[in-house]
């Protein structure tokens, strides 16, 4: 029987956080780039419209989820499957 040590718990927590970061990275990264580009456009043109920053980011998030959604779901399912299948080894 395995033993649930603090090292194992820390490793499991680190794997969980890395998986969450990996899954969220495309959405966060692309929305940040679009937000930065829109902000630069606003500074250059001096247009301070709130919807000008909101709508492109929402569209970017939607398109990113459509493009990377299957990969994101597969990554989370693979992590969960590995985690659940290893439950007997934890005790």
pLDDT for the residue 1: 44
DSSP 32-90: HHHHHHHHHHHHHHT---HHHHHHHHHHHHHHHHHHHHHHHHHHHHHHHHHHHHTHHHH
pLDDT for the residue 63: 96
3-state secondary structure of 9: helix
Residue whose token pair is 């499991």: 12
Largest CA distance in the chain: 66
Query: For 64-86, what is each residue's pLDDT tens digit?
Result: 999 999 999 999 999 999 999 98
3-state secondary structure of 10: helix
pLDDT for the residue 7: 86
Q: What is the pTM of this model?
A: 0.78
């Amino acid at each position: 029987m395995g033993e649930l040590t603090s090292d194992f718990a820390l490793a499991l927590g680190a794997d969980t956080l890395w998986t969450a970061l990996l899954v969220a990275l495309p959405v966060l990264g692309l929305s940040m780039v679009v937000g930065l580009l829109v902000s630069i456009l606003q500074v250059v043109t001096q247009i301070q419209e709130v919807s000008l920053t909101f709508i492109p980011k929402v569209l970017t998030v939607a398109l990113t989820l459509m493009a990377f959604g299957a990969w994101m779901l597969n990554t989370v399912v693979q992590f969960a499957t590995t985690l659940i299948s290893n439950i007997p080894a934890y005790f």
